[in-house]
Structure 1
Amino acid sequence: MRPAAPLADEDRIRLLGGAHHDPHGLLGAHPVRSGLLFRVLRPYAVSVTVVAKGLRATLHAEGDGLFAGVLPLRRIPDYELLVEYEDSTVTVRDAYRFLPAVGELDLHLFSEGRHEQLWRALGARPMDHQGVTGTRFTVWAPNAQGVRIVGNFNFWDGTAHPMRSLGSSGVWELFVPGIGEGELYKFEITRPDGSKTLRADPMARRTECPPANASVVEESHYHWKDADWMARRGERPVHQAPFSVYEVHLPSWRPGLTYRQLAAQLPAYIKDLGFTHVEFMPVSEHPFGGSWGYQVTGFYAPTARMGAPDDFRYLVDALHRAGIGVLMDWVPAHFPRDDWALAEFDGRPLYEHQDPARAAHPDWGTLEFDYGRTEVRNFLVANAVYWCEEFHIDGLRVDAVASMLYLDYSREDGGWTPNIHGGRENLDAVAFLQEMNATVYRRCPGVVTIAEESTAWDGVTRATHHVGPGGFGGLGFGLKWNMGWMHDSLVYASKEPVHRKYHHGEMTFSMIYAYSENYVLPISHDEVVHGKRSLVSKMPGDWWQQRATHRAYLGYMWAHPGKQLLFMGQEFAQGAEWAESHGPDWWLLDPAYEAEPDHRGVRDLVRDLNRRYAGTPALWERDTDPAGFSWIDGDAADDNVFSFLRHAADGTPLVSVTNFSPVVRHAYRLGVPGHVPAWDEVLNTDALRYGGSGVTNPEPLKSEPVPWNGREASLVAVLPPLATVWFLPA
């Protein structure tokens, strides 16, 4: 063993300081004129010995944890390192003898913004590389002077694990032998100014449980059992299918349950109530539980609060096997400023916009993504695909779309810069949403994307290649939350009945634009928190009137064109606002509680609404077709009555009548199609079993040849107080 030529001072300083772009050029085994030069960086080691078949040579100490020597060899052997410390000796593979473990095609696709399975190229990936088992670490940090891996495997000292820069891609890489699943890690980044920052992996597929925030090496071993569901979920377009959604905040639905424990309870509960889908509020990892998941730091990791990623897969699988689709909230609009996460990730704005005024979200104290940056757009598009492909998610409800679309969103005059055309549209965000939707629909048959978009942006659910009057192609979403319907209908329902006639138009206005988009009617978590009160508590009057109006409202909602979404707790008329600290008031359903029939009756109504809805094509088959709806009388303001027809594709009609007055309306005449001789009452929210007064139409109602409401025939019904009644042909 001969001493090696010492490192150049600059290389030595940069290597030891974590600011070298090519540690593989200095460490490992390299041919020199007199043989092979071996150099190892092992801080705190007493000695390092190269061990190979027929070879054992102790390297010379060079100080600062560097050991080196030249052996008279022509070829690099398959060698190991015997590292001796004061109190232990370990045998390891040399991380610096390996070629890059990420391919040129991966880097090219990422740089072009076209790597649709980016999680396979970046992050921590256990693998066999050049015949050795270990983990490949990759991270995008183009502004960094250097990057090192720290973790429990190196006692959180990254000196011995500097990563190499893979050229202009901005990606840093290191394959670490012997490291496997469950290892904790972060990236230690040397910023352009020489300071250091410790960062969680943006691509981590698993994290520590908050408030701890290290990333965890993860590989899935889950075997799916939902092949039948996956094969048939796209048989019918969503907008032409039954679609009623139960929105859930998983950590508080039954506080303390794990993903697997939830799988034993949630599917059965939802199936019993007849909802076709469940929607999870964000499950991506987030540091503050009080954000409900809307301030994400781990975009590729299900929150560890309830278990491991495979446990989350188990929950999704259980729901699918119960015949329930799984939607999840997805939050690409912004991210928090935590100094261990994405904000100024490598010392400069990277995921956020370079312009501070564009980067800062004015409402939430967060940062907005730079949708115009190729790699950032790729990060987000691939993330949407990731949840659908890796976790079999059936739909993404995209949060806060309006805040993405407008440059002046929540900004004062002078606080924003127009686009190149002088407009206020965020052209980069438009292009991103179009690309995301097109990619998800192409790669994941049967998946639906849903926009939470609160403005009148034209073409949210129009195909991306169809250009609208504003000159933009459609955004390409499958469905859109109807925030206008939600607001207007709740304003109406919250008024005392004597005042409702003055607000009648707020209920009928929705039909003016009902077919401009493919709509979901949402009564979501946002409507039952922060002083807004629960749904039943918004209603005026005494407790009976509140519950009656609550039931009537749900009956009206399920009959109105559009899909339905109801937040947990509202299905049994919980009186208190939702709080993530304790979740729904399940005790209200306890038989020992004296008011239990009140709440169970509302839950029974929701069950019957869903079952009747699913079995009645008139209520969903033509949700986006104007021919699927017609008013019977939309102007009965003095009566507080709304009556309309829904029509199935084969012409079968359903009559829906809602009386938002607290009085019984006897002998109420309604114009109906003349070809139907008799009508059966198939749902009445005033039925005794729901907690109502029991005013019903028990016998079939015969159609009479009396013209009414512009129709050739009519029927005469009793309208219960504060109730919705549905009739079908007898």
Structure 2
Amino acid sequence: MTSKKSATPKNKSGKSKTDKSKTGSGKADRSGAEEPRSDRAAIPAARRPEPPARPDPVEVAVSPAIGAGDRARLLDGTHHAPHSVLGAHPVGGEVAFRAFRPYAQAVTVLSGDLRAELHDDGAGFFSGLLPLTDVPAYRLLVTYDGTVHETEDAYRFLPTLGELDLHLIGEGRHEQLWRALGAHVTTHQGVTGTRFAVWAPNALGVRVAGTFNFWDAGGFPMRSLGSSGVWELFVPGVGEGELYKFEITRPDGSRTLRADPLARRTEVPPATSSVVHASHHEWGDAEWLARRADTPVEQAPFSVYEVHLPSWRPGLTYRQLAEQLPAYVTEMGFTHVELMPVAEHPFGGSWGYQVTGFYAPTARLGTPDDFKYLVDRLHQAGVGVLMDWVPAHFPRDAWALAEFDGRPLYEHHDPMRAAHPDWGTLEFDFGRREVRNFLVANAVYWCEEFHIDGLRVDAVASMLYLDYSREPGQWTPNEHGGRENLDAVAFLQEMNATVYRRCPGVVTIAEESTAWDGVTRPTHHRGPSGFGGLGFGLKWNMGWMHDSLQYMSHEPVHRSYHHGEMTFSMVYAYSENYVLPISHDEVVHGKRSLVSKMPGDWWQQRANLRAYLGFMWAHPGKQLLFMGQEFAQGAEWSEAHGPDWWLLDPAYGAEADHRGVRDLVRDLNAVYRATPALWQRDTDPAGFRWITGDAAEDNVFAFLRHDAEGNPLLAVSHLAPVVRHDYRIGVPEDVPAWVEVLNSDAGRYGGSDVANPDAVKPEPQAWHGQPASIRLTLPPLATVWLRPA
């Protein structure tokens, strides 16, 4: 059977309709870039040349329509191989063309001078058999009610993913997974468009929906790439800024519309669509990256300012933050900033710790390139960038990862293992290689694509223990009968080993609140527990934080009974590579701000705080301070309004109050960075020596720090509200004189200005186990640092 039809659709004037795809309309896309227009549209009408004459339509032999089974699966969204029936295929010495275009009135094949209208098979299916020996390059002219589109046929293209990508994905070893999955603007077989790929092994079918097809996924089924579980489709003409999601047909036949797990850009919450993205940022931090790995982090100064970007200065974008944050951090002398989670999250009140877009910086503050700009500017200012990373769990939002393809996929298949008991979220299945790959590649992604210098891994303890926050009967022991999550151990080891191998100079930091052995031990070194080390570079010292704050909360008259809370940390100080954290967790949910934890009146509270910070900066380990605490903010932190910057306004009379504490923190950092004794041997017991750790009745702690050449710094903390004159402190005999280099009681910090203004010479009187001693005036509630004159 044959049919003769005109192959050229007409508009009401009788002229041929000009076809334009959505991306060729000449309108600006969401990125602000001008989309291409046809040359004809740019020529004034009076001077436009007449279009060439259309060739006569050819006779089209109607090919056998798509079989009933394939037809039903395409309509139901359950077809695994749409390219095998759609597109152009040699058939018996001719070429069969088949298209599935729901709501189309006509479909015409265009190839050179050839124009052939396909037969309408009903329900959006069109087909035709043309007398061609080979499959030509062709386009489709699709007529809808009131409009005509000329477009490439998505089903004439070969897969965009190769065998190596699929093999690595199947093995769980694709270390740049984001380059294979997700949405990528690319040129494929000479045509520009976007490649979509998603892992959904349990799906009966996957289709892609977005602004480019008016959110109707019917005509955009993806193909399954074998046993990999990956579905792929190259859509010509789709460019940057288009919104999209994946429509997944679950094993029970129901459908769900899901955001892309590897989307590199998202809509601004509460909207949930993924956004096609291509980066155009040109980095300017080559010098920073080149020297980043020169010194191991445990032997380098490392003073961290923790920041919640949305509330540091509320209302600022990434680019506006880039104009203010580097200058402030540099002025304060911190070596690094640590950003609370920046990966996309639907609920701002989670502070970023319930992530749905693991590969996308939150759109609340700008685009991914805007975030790169912020990191770049920090690096150019000499500031390292750490970020909180949350691989322990994810929320249950129905448009995100939970039961992504209709069955537990990213979460554990055992409901008891999947449900996180504390946060109402789901735990990742660390034993599934593809899930482990998703997370390991994500860690690499932030370091390679965004030049992040370190990952602080959240909630490590909740990952390591099967019985974490669970009662008996709510968890199942591991294969050895123990409570350790062996899958999580293997994941953390692989993540750390991969990041350190691929990204020189990057540090990983564990928020681990238990006594797990070997958190910062290399993965190939086994400890007494039989496990290899987890491979982190640093670990938060939660014990020091808890004990020291507990001591400081007591009235000075009671502190002698709690003296060991300040000294116990040195019993285990060298078991791991530690960071001393005063983080956001300590100044929220009724815990009060740091200064408000201190006893006494307002003067004493500030004096206690200053003395505590001096003790902290001298103690072995790196330092971390949360924003607002550097100027003694009195209120708890709120993500709604951020730090109380008005407290620093001179009109408030802040010079002696909040500005004094801020100036102390700035000077602590300045002296710290200039004094290798305070950081060079943080993980070496030879770098520390107690002078007196048992002066409980006096509330005094004194110790020496030494650098690699043996140069000392003497730190004395006096945590009683009295002045002690001629207080004798033992010192080495080889230092001719000591001078104050920092005194937290200085008047410019808001203190009483009790000091040792002159050099203090040792006396040949042995004291505190030292061959000589000095007599100091100890200010009230203060820490004093001295160094050789």
Q: Normalized against structure 2, the TM-score is what?
A: 0.92
Which residues in structure 2 correspond to 1:714-725 (within 5 Å)? 714-725=773-784
Separation of aligned partners in 2, 1:153 and 1:573: 52
Separation of aligned partners in 2, 1:596 and 1:292: 32
Amino acid in the other structure paired with 2:138: Y
- 1:165 maps to 2:229: no
Which residues in structure 2 correspond to 1:408-427 (within 5 Å)? 408-427=467-486
Separation of aligned partners in 2, 1:233 and 1:637: 43
- 1:522 maps to 2:581: yes
Residue matched to 2:11: none
Secondary structure at the counterpart of residue 694 of structure 2: coil
Residue matched to 2:670: 611
Separation of aligned partners in 2, 1:50 and 1:429: 54
Instruction: Provide, for residues 5-62 of structure 1, a one-character-per-residue CA deviation record: whole Å limited to 9, x for no partner.
Output: 1222221111011111111111100111251111111111111100110200001111
Amino acid in the other structure paired with 1:361: H
1:116 maps to which of 170, 175, 189: 175
- 1:359 maps to 2:414: no
Indicate conservation of the 8 Å contact 1:126/1:180, yes or no.
yes
Residue matched to 2:126: 67
Secondary structure at the counterpart of residue 571 of structure 2: helix
1:643 maps to which of 684, 696, 702: 702
Structure 1 residue runs of 4 or more that deviate by more than 3 Å after TM superposition: none
Which residues in structure 2 correspond to 1:514-553 (within 5 Å)? 514-553=573-612
Measure how far apart 1:265 and its partner are.
Answer: 0.2
Residue matched to 2:766: 707
Residue matched to 2:150: 91
Residue matched to 1:571: 630
Residue matched to 1:428: 487
Separation of aligned partners in 1, 2:553 and 2:423: 29
Instruction: Provide, for residues 115-136 of structure 1, a one-character-per-residue CA deviation record: whole Å limited to 9, x for no partner.
Output: 1000000000110000000010
- 1:17 maps to 2:65: no
Residue matched to 2:110: 51
Secondary structure at the counterpart of residue 614 of structure 2: helix
Secondary structure at the counterpart of residue 208 of structure 1: coil
Instruction: Provide, for residues 486-509 of structure 1, a one-character-per-residue CA deviation record: whole Å limited to 9, x for no partner.
Output: 000000001111111111001100
Measure how far apart 1:514 and its partner are.
Answer: 0.2
Separation of aligned partners in 1, 2:597 and 2:295: 36
Separation of aligned partners in 1, 2:654 and 2:144: 70
- 1:196 maps to 2:249: no
Separation of aligned partners in 2, 1:665 and 1:233: 45
Residue matched to 1:394: 453
Separation of aligned partners in 1, 2:770 and 2:686: 16
Instruction: Provide, for residues 647-676 of structure 1, a one-character-per-residue CA deviation record: whole Å limited to 9, x for no partner.
Output: 111111111001110111111100001100
Residue matched to 2:519: 460
2:367 maps to which of 308, 315, 318: 308
- 1:485 maps to 2:550: no
Secondary structure at the counterpart of residue 264 of structure 1: helix
Separation of aligned partners in 1, 2:773 and 2:654: 40
Which residues in structure 2 correspond to 1:362-381 (within 5 Å)? 362-381=421-440
Residue matched to 2:197: 138
Separation of aligned partners in 1, 2:113 and 2:364: 51
Measure how far apart 1:594 and its partner are.
Answer: 2.5
Once superposed, what is the RMSD of the aligned Cα atoms? 0.6
Residue matched to 1:237: 296
Residue matched to 1:583: 642
2:684 maps to which of 618, 622, 625: 625
- 1:447 maps to 2:506: yes
Unaligned runs of 5+ in 2: 1-59
Residue range with higher mean Cα deviation, 483-492 or 26-35: 26-35
Separation of aligned partners in 1, 2:186 and 2:762: 72
Measure how far apart 1:152 and its partner are.
Answer: 0.4
Indicate conservation of the 8 Å contact 1:19/1:145, yes or no.
yes
Instruction: Provide, for residues 360-388 of structure 1, a one-character-per-residue CA deviation record: whole Å limited to 9, x for no partner.
Output: 00000000000110100000000000000
Indicate conservation of the 8 Å contact 1:278/1:327, yes or no.
yes
- 1:502 maps to 2:547: no
Indicate conservation of the 8 Å contact 1:672/1:715, yes or no.
yes
Instruction: Provide, for residues 609-636 of structure 1, a one-character-per-residue CA deviation record: whole Å limited to 9, x for no partner.
Output: 0000000011001000001111110001
Indicate conservation of the 8 Å contact 1:124/1:138, yes or no.
yes
Separation of aligned partners in 2, 1:120 and 1:277: 29
Separation of aligned partners in 1, 2:663 and 2:288: 27
Residue matched to 1:329: 388
Secondary structure at the counterpart of residue 487 of structure 1: helix
Secondary structure at the counterpart of residue 172 of structure 1: strand
Measure how far apart 1:87 and its partner are.
Answer: 1.1
Residue matched to 1:149: 208
- 1:597 maps to 2:644: no
Secondary structure at the counterpart of residue 702 of structure 1: coil
Instruction: Provide, for residues 386-421 of structure 1, a one-character-per-residue CA deviation record: whole Å limited to 9, x for no partner.
Output: 000000000000000000000000000111001111
Separation of aligned partners in 2, 1:45 and 1:415: 55
Equivalent residues, number: 730
Measure how far apart 1:596 and its partner are.
Answer: 4.4
Separation of aligned partners in 1, 2:145 and 2:400: 36
Secondary structure at the counterpart of residue 638 of structure 1: helix
- 1:184 maps to 2:243: yes
1:657 maps to which of 716, 733, 743: 716
Indicate conservation of the 8 Å contact 1:247/1:524, yes or no.
yes
Separation of aligned partners in 2, 1:268 and 1:111: 46
Separation of aligned partners in 1, 2:93 and 2:71: 22
Measure how far apart 1:597 and its partner are.
Answer: 3.2
Secondary structure at the counterpart of residue 270 of structure 1: helix
Amino acid in the other structure paired with 1:403: S
Separation of aligned partners in 1, 2:739 and 2:123: 88
Greater gyration radius: 2
Separation of aligned partners in 1, 2:242 and 2:647: 44
Q: Normalized against structure 1, the TM-score is what?
A: 1.00
Residue matched to 2:6: none
- 1:273 maps to 2:339: no
Amino acid in the other structure paired with 1:603: R
Unaligned runs of 5+ in 1: none
Percent same amino acid at aligned positions?
A: 78
Secondary structure at the counterpart of residue 697 of structure 2: coil
- 1:469 maps to 2:528: yes
2:349 maps to which of 286, 290, 313: 290
Separation of aligned partners in 2, 1:534 and 1:596: 20
Separation of aligned partners in 2, 1:224 and 1:45: 46
Amino acid in the other structure paired with 2:507: V
Indicate conservation of the 8 Å contact 1:34/1:70, yes or no.
no
Residue matched to 1:299: 358
Measure how far apart 1:222 and its partner are.
Answer: 0.7
Indicate conservation of the 8 Å contact 1:284/1:300, yes or no.
yes
Amino acid in the other structure paired with 1:166: L
Separation of aligned partners in 2, 1:3 and 1:683: 91
Residue matched to 1:3: 62
Indicate conservation of the 8 Å contact 1:588/1:596, yes or no.
no
- 1:253 maps to 2:332: no
